[in-house]
């Protein structure tokens, strides 16, 4: 069976530096598919173009979308994990679960909030919230 795909997403951010560093870390960890959504302020006008350049230089893929619903619709993940602080999450993140799903050929979307507290209650309901 073929391996799945792991997609990382930064959602709801306004900092150019936060956007750039998120993309650098994701690429450094081997991510090939990155989604940015709900950028505002200078992150939308300057951060996303910087991210695009970084992603292009690594021959990876970048989607810039309006919201989480768009990324779920376009990426069609089998599993969605939303990362948030402990009081708001349902369970501890277990990377072994993702490794198993990946080896089974499943596509996995990992979503990180770019502002405090990170993600709204409605957004957390779109997948498994973990800390």
Answer whether residue 3 is part of any domain: no
Phi, psi torsion values for 111, nearest 5 degrees: -110, 130
Query: At 60, which CATH number?
Result: 3.40.1280.10
Contact 22, 10 (CB under 8 A): yes
What three-state secondary structure class fits 89? coil
The per-residue pLDDT for range 11-50, each reduced to its tens digit, is 999 999 999 999 999 999 999 999 999 999 999 999 999 9
What three-state secondary structure class fits 125? coil
Question: Domain range spanning residue 37?
Answer: 8-130
Answer whether residue 63 is part of any domain: yes
Answer whether residue 2 is part of any domain: no
Answer whether residue 125 is part of any domain: yes
Q: Which residue has the tokens 């970084």?
A: 54
The per-residue pLDDT for range 41-88, each reduced to its tens digit, is 999 999 999 999 999 999 999 999 999 999 999 999 999 999 998 888
What three-state secondary structure class fits 130? strand
The pTM assigned to this predicted structure is 0.95
Contacts of 125 by beta carbon, 8 Å cutoff, 6+ apart = none
């Amino acid at each position: 069976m073929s391996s799945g795909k792991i997609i990382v997403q930064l959602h709801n951010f306004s900092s150019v530096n936060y956007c750039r560093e998120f993309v650098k870390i994701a690429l450094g960890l081997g991510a090939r598919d990155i989604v940015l959504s709900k950028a505002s302020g200078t992150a939308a006008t300057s951060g996303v173009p910087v991210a695009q350049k970084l992603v292009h230089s690594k021959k990876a893929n970048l989607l810039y979308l309006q919201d989480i619903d768009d990324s779920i619709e376009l990426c069609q993940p089998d599993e969605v994990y939303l990362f948030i602080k402990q009081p708001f999450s349902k369970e501890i993140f277990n990377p072994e679960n993702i490794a198993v799903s990946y080896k089974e050929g499943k596509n996995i979307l990992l979503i990180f909030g770019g502002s405090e507290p990170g993600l709204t209650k409605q957004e957390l309901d779109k997948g498994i919230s973990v800390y």
